[in-house]
Amino acid sequence: MKATQFLPDVQKTLEARGEPAYRLKQAYAAITESLVRDWDEATSLPKALREALSEEVPAATLEIVRIARATDGTRKYLFKAHDGHLIETVMIPEKGRNTVCISTQVGCAMGCKFCATGLLGIKRNLNAREIAEQVFVAARDVAPERISNVVVMGMGEPMLNYNATLLALKVLNDSDGFGLAARHIAVSTSGLVDKIRRFADEPEQFHLAISLHTPFEEERREIMPVASRHSIPELMSAAQYFVDKTRRKLFFEYTLLAGVNDQPRHVVALAKLLDHPLYHLNMLRFNWTDTGFEATSKKDAKAFLYHARDRGLSATLRPSRGEDIDAACGQLAAKDLRGKPELLPVVPAV
């Protein structure tokens, strides 16, 4: 079923040629397991079929325009889709793990005031192939190491492209596909409450992160327009539904903005709002974008973290990665990378 949904164009070509049904499974495995970007690499398929597929349905749907590497090892991939639209993907290497941050839309409709992607507006949704392929490219790039985690926190609001995003994640999770454990996959949303409830009802054990950024209603409406649709009480009701239904930890994303949401009163309110053993506050200092905001100082961010923990909150302050190539959270805007740090040659994995 996943192969049929994920590769409908390939199935159509196979059926037109009168190929046996198992050829679709072979093609699916070639893309999701062997990570081929050219059908010539799919040696499990007959040569004549490979040639036919290459003419009609390319194995790769995204063109790799360039790969940039930050001083901390973070890599940012600039892709061009078939219609010329650009998207960005980030791979973050850490000791013992490689995390890929993927995009689900070209641009974003949510308009969060501190996010560069929001300045682009929305162009279109990505399809499931385009979403999953970002991971496949990163996996080829780091081979023989493996991708250990996928976070859907790049360009776009995943819950506004729900079906394609979910299909892509199911393929990444598929034991007959990419084979990444569901608990190593996390989706971030700006807070669409109906989709949070729907996501909680899915059988897969994917993690969820909700962008909160302030515990105060008026402030949240000011920096996150989505808050005018769903109040904080509505959001927290959906959060409660998620943890009650899944019994999984729920993450709340919190970008520290100097003088905006980093005051002692915010800690006090957060401690009340997130008073649940399965709630975790993920904090990150603002990464510069041309939006008029400034980052909370490192000293003040640590003080905010310690204050939160003293109040009983489960909380983490994450380091920013890839800032020198505009690859950190909130910075993805498909800008031209010319003149940026070292560019890596695009070399297929062996």
How far apart are the C-alpha atoms of 302 and 296, rounded to whole Å?
10
Query: What is the DSSP-derived secondary structure letter of residue 76?
Result: E
> What do you get for the CA distance between the two ends of the chain, in Å?
29
Q: Is 329 a catalytic residue?
A: yes
- Is residue 219 annotated as a catalytic residue, yes or no? no
Q: Is 197 helix (H, G, I), strand (E, B) or coil?
A: helix
Q: Roughly what angle, to the nearest 10 degrees, separates helices 232-246 and 193-200?
A: 0
Q: Which of 88, 130, 157, 323 is catalytic?
A: 88
Nearest to 167 by CA among 2, 333, 350, 340: 2
- Spatial strand order in the sheet of 207-211: 315-318, 279-285, 250-256, 207-211, 185-189, 149-152, 97-101, 86-94, 75-80, 63-69, 343-344
Place of tokens 């501190």: 114
Closest by Cα among 13, 91, 89 to 57? 13
CA separation for the pair 270, 216 (Å, rounded)? 9
List the catalytic residue out of 51, 101, 329, 342: 329
Q: How many CB atoms lie within 10 A of CB 96?
A: 7
Alpha helix stretches (DSSP H) within 158-297: 162-173, 193-200, 217-223, 232-246, 264-273
**Which tokens belong to 227?**
């808050």
CA angle 138, 38, 88 (to 5 degrees): 35
- List, by residue number, the catalytic residues: 88, 329
